Amino acid sequence: LLVIDNGSEEETKAYLRTLQSTSNLQIEVIFNETNLGFVGGMNQGMKLSHAPYVCLLNNDTVVTPQWLELCLEAFKKDSIVGIVNPNSSTFGTWPKKNQTVEEVAQILYAKHQSHPVTEIGTCIGFCMFIKREVMQKIGYLEESLYKIFFEDTDYCKRAKKAGYLCVVANQAYVFHYEHKTLPKKSQRDEFFKQNKKWFYEKWGKPLRIFWPKRMLGTQQEKDLLTKIARDDHFISLLLPQEAQAAWGHKHAHIFLKYHPFKKSALLYFLWCVLIKQKKPYDYIVTQEYPLLDKFCFLIRGKCVSRVEDIKELVH
């Protein structure tokens, strides 16, 4: 266990000096005189580690039984899995009232027995496992960024470019308090804005695509959607209810919406894109509902007849 003390106050340093290794756990504490930022501190630990996997773990987290084993197990599902996140409050899985994090972990373990891993666009650095061969190929976190934000996303993009996948270990649970490094919202917003600009200039901005469909489609179509999701674009599919079971497991960037009645698909579609959506879609695919072209003047996104017509998807 490598503990990087990033310029903490004396009380914390005094506590860390009391930590002692045991026969089961070797502890090494590194004291930095000043705060080198999340990236600087994590890179210190990554460079000192020699294990086959490394876990970047924030100090504002609470782990639960089997979290470590279950995350490492995710690497065995596919040889090209390079980076793993546990399930977490960061992904929206919060304990309910009077529920402990351990109880949440038990529920997730039982719920995801048949589907322990979900592919995700990019992992998040609060608790991020990295295979050593990934580090050997692409190096460490980008240190030219401002303090925090997007360094984990950039690292995952580099890993995927090298041929690896990012996944979530659905049965593992780590609670994350969030925003403890920079508690002031004004500071967080400043760093987020600066690093977001840098990230989009380097990798491009992800697209949000809405595609209403009458039926699920072919395997070739599903493969196309998976490829688009792996390029970190977001796809919302509007499907009939009966298509739900036929889809199976999917990428985390593919969102399935179900319209209740075939005859109301057009109205439900308009409700989704004009009222319900939190952010405007960049593209609306009208392939199976050509009448929607007549309503495109109401929509901020651009209408296209096929997904293949979206030029930004072709690199």
Is residue 275 scored above 80 in pLDDT? Answer: no
Task: Give the pLDDT of residue 313.
Answer: 78
Cα distance between residue 307 and residue 157, in whole Å: 23
Is residue 266 scored above 80 in pLDDT? Answer: no
Q: Give the Å distances, CA to CA, from 228 to 1, 206, 221, 232.
A: 38, 10, 11, 7
pLDDT band at residue 292, thresholds of 50, 70 and 90? confident
Give the range among 63-67, 139-143, 246-250 with minimum mean pLDDT.
246-250
pLDDT band at residue 312, thresholds of 50, 70 and 90? confident
Question: How confident is the prediction for the chain on average, in pLDDT?
Answer: 88
Task: Give the pLDDT of residue 38.
Answer: 87
Cα angle: 122, vertex 123, 127; to 5 degrees: 170
State the pTM of this model: 0.88
- Residue 92 neighbours by CB distance under 10 Å: 7
Task: Give the pLDDT of residue 268.
Answer: 66
Q: Contact, 259 vs 240, CB < 8 A?
A: yes
**168 closest CA partner among 106, 123, 225:** 123
Task: Give the pLDDT of residue 47.
Answer: 95
pLDDT tens digits for range 3-23: 999 999 999 999 999 999 999
Task: Give the pLDDT of residue 314.
Answer: 58
Give percent of the chain with pLDDT exceeding 70. Answer: 88
pLDDT tens digits for range 43-86: 999 999 999 999 999 999 999 999 999 999 999 999 999 999 99
Task: Give the pLDDT of residue 290.
Answer: 83
**Tokens representing residue 35 in the block:** 């705060």
Task: Give the pLDDT of residue 17.
Answer: 96
Q: Per DSSP, which regions of the chain are E strands? A: 2-6, 28-32, 53-57, 61-63, 81-88, 117-120, 127-131, 165-176, 208-212, 234-240, 254-259, 283-285, 302-304
Task: Give the pLDDT of residue 33.
Answer: 92
Give percent of the chain with pLDDT exceeding 90. Answer: 60
Give the range among 160-169, 192-201, 224-233, 265-274 with minimum mean pLDDT.
265-274
Is residue 296 scored above 80 in pLDDT? Answer: no
Is residue 156 scored above 90 in pLDDT? Answer: yes
Task: Give the pLDDT of residue 146.
Answer: 62
Is residue 267 scored above 90 in pLDDT? Answer: no
Mean local confidence (pLDDT), 190-208: 89
